[in-house]
Amino acid sequence: MKKLNWGILGTARISQKLISAMKLSKRSQFYGIASRSSQNAEAFARQWNIPKSYSSYEALLADPTVDVVYIPLPNHLHAEWTIKSLEAGKHVLCEKPLALSVIEVQNIINASRQHRCFASEAFMYRHLKQTTQIKQMIDNGEIGNVTYARGSFSFMLDRPEDIRLVSLYGGGCLWDVGCYPVSYARVMIGQTPAEVEGFQQVGPSGVDEFFIGQMAFPCGALAQFDCSFRLPSYTCFEIRGDQGTIHIPLPFNPSSTSNVTLHKQGKTKNFSFRAPHLYLGEIEDMNSAVLGEKPPLISLEDSLENVKTLNALYQSARQRQPVRLIAAP
Ligand SMILES: NC(=O)c1ccc[n+]([C@@H]2O[C@H](COP(=O)([O-])OP(=O)(O)OC[C@H]3O[C@@H](n4cnc5c(N)ncnc54)[C@H](OP(=O)(O)O)[C@@H]3O)[C@@H](O)[C@H]2O)c1
């Protein structure tokens, strides 16, 4: 069987994780790497054993051999290059956040429809068995009605020149890591918040380096989260229902084995999950879509709701007041 050829735009550090996952894929391979610098592209291709290098992103998109484009560019370039890739007839796996505004996501949806190519946001956690099984437990009523959820994602950002600290590039900890607990809460509760409130601490470069938010969902459930570039590495997520609580210490980037605890009726039950590779699921999900088996797990409409929520949280933090996403009944 011919393997699907994937190309990468930019020599980003995160690509190394995808490259190691791709080695486990039987249906696809990384065929090309494009950089703004031909030297960087050649060096990256040599280092990671990628057959083809290109001295511009446009050159990769012009190559008919490339089937799928992986986009790990700074956040402000996600929408632009996703749309250019779709216009070139390529399917796209784009890093989170898919875009920085609702209009950008709507433009991606239009381009995907017009050019009949898939685009999907690279939230790797969504493809893990851990995530799908927890969602199933909730939908099966294991913890009763979900009342409350809370999550954290923080790390110490110690590279002053990092793209995450550049406001014009869509920097900020909410865009970078806060997008995970927001997405997790939306997925587990199964709705978009009706109302949100955000609080931020802005650092010297002008981006949020600490952000906390709360979200009220139409079903009545409430959620809270925190994210930061200035707190030690930490993640967790907890979902509380009127009959039990699920605690997930590594919800977003678990290692090969991860543990989840269900507290119910005075008893504690532990579940263990194994994942072959954190980033393989999103690759195989896109391969399945391109090969006509099923649409991507993360639809563009789903990403639209996340981007809408993140923008409302930023708006709330700026204006120092709650923001409604759904009109009050
Ligand atoms: N899913 C995950 O687990 C995960 C983890 C980390 C990051 N990410 C996401 O992946 C993306 C990249 O993050 P990263 O930390 O890997 O990025 P990075 O190492 O800083 O690389 C970004 C790449 O973008 C290209 N680029 C184009 N215009 C640029 C500009 N004006 N300034 C800087 N670079 C520019 C550069 O490639 P060339 O110079 O070669 O063109 C650069 O190597 C972000 O959207 C981030 O949110 C996701």
CATH of the domain at 226: 3.30.360.10
Distance from the CA of 146 to the center of ligand 1, in angstroms?
36
Report the pLDDT value the prediction gives residue 268, as an integer from 0 to 100: 97
Q: Residue 175 CA: which ligand 1 atom is closest?
A: 47
Q: How many A from CA of 73 to the centre of ligand 1? A: 4
Ligand 1 midpoint to CA 10 (Å): 7
Distance 89 CA to ligand 1 centre (A): 23
- 33: domain CATH number is 3.40.50.720
The predicted pLDDT at position 204 comes to 97
Say whether both 68 and 133 belong to one domain: no
CA-nearest residue, atom 23 of ligand 1: 12
Q: Is position 293 within any domain?
A: no
Give the per-residue pLDDT at 38.
98
CB 82 within 8 A of CB 108: yes
Asked if residue 63 belongs to a domain, the reply is yes
Q: Is 64 inside a domain boundary?
A: yes
Atom of ligand 1 nearest to the CA of 75: 45
The residue whose CB lies within 8 Å of the most ligand 1 atoms, and thus the one to mutate among 57, 73, 165, 253, is 73
Cβ burial, residue 261 (10 Å; 0-12/13-18/19+): middle
Q: Per the domain annotation, does 286 fall within a domain?
A: no
Spatial distance between the Cα atoms of 211 and 201, rounded to a whole number of angstroms: 6
| Domain count along the chain | 2
**239 vs 242: CA distance, rounded Å:** 10
Q: What is the pLDDT of residue 32?
A: 98
Does residue 212 share a domain with residue 135?
A: yes
Residue 31 sits in the same domain as residue 10: yes
Whether residues 245 and 318 fall in one domain: yes
What was the pLDDT predicted at 214? 98
Residue 234 lies in a domain: yes
Are 167 and 73 in a shared domain? no
266 lies in a domain? Answer: yes
As given in the structure block, the two tokens for residue 3 are 């393997």
Of all atoms in ligand 1, which is nearest to the CA of residue 36?
A: 41
Please give the distance, rounded to the nearest whole angstrom, from the Cα atom of residue 202 to the centre of ligand 1: 22
Co-location of 173 and 33 in the same domain: no
Q: Are 225 and 237 in contact (CB under 8 A)?
A: no
The verdict on 234 and 169 lying in the same domain is: yes
Is 149 in the same domain as 104? no
CA distance 159 to 142: 43
Give residue 61's pLDDT.
98
Per-residue pLDDT of the chain (329 residues; tens, 9 = 90+): 789 999 999 999 999 999 999 999 999 999 999 999 999 999 999 999 999 999 999 999 999 999 999 999 999 999 999 999 999 999 999 999 999 999 999 999 999 999 999 999 999 999 999 999 999 999 999 999 999 999 999 999 999 999 999 999 999 999 999 999 999 999 999 999 999 999 999 999 999 999 999 999 999 999 999 999 999 999 999 999 999 999 999 999 998 888 999 999 999 999 999 888 999 999 999 999 999 999 999 999 999 999 999 999 999 999 999 999 988 77
Q: Interhelix angle for 179-189 vs 300-319, to 10°?
A: 120
Domain contains 299:
no
Residue 152: which domain range? 126-280+307-324
Q: Are residues 81 and 158 in the same domain?
A: no
Domain limit, last residue, from 89, 104, 122 = 122
User: What DSSP line would sit under 254-282, residue for residue?
Assistant: --SEEEEEEEETTEEEEEEEE-S-TTHHH
Give residue 292 CA to ligand 1 midpoint distance, Å.
Answer: 30
Give the closest residue (by CA) to ligand 1 atom 4: 14
- Which residue, of 66, 91, 122, is where some domain finishes? 122
Last residue of a domain, one of 104, 122, 140: 122
User: What pLDDT is stored for residue 66 in this prediction?
Assistant: 98
Q: 172 and 320: one domain?
A: yes
Query: Separation of 282 CA from ligand 1 center, angstroms?
Result: 18
CA distance 326 to 123: 25
What per-residue confidence (pLDDT) applies to 256? 81
Which residues form the pocket of ligand 1, taking CB atoms under 6 Å from any ligand atom? 10-14, 35-37, 40, 72-75, 77, 95-96, 122, 124, 163, 176
Whether residues 136 and 30 fall in one domain: no
Q: What pLDDT is stored for residue 198 in this prediction?
A: 98
Q: Does residue 265 sit within a domain?
A: yes
Per-residue model confidence (pLDDT) at position 327: 82
- 208 and 97 in a common domain: no
Q: What pLDDT is attached to residue 9?
A: 99
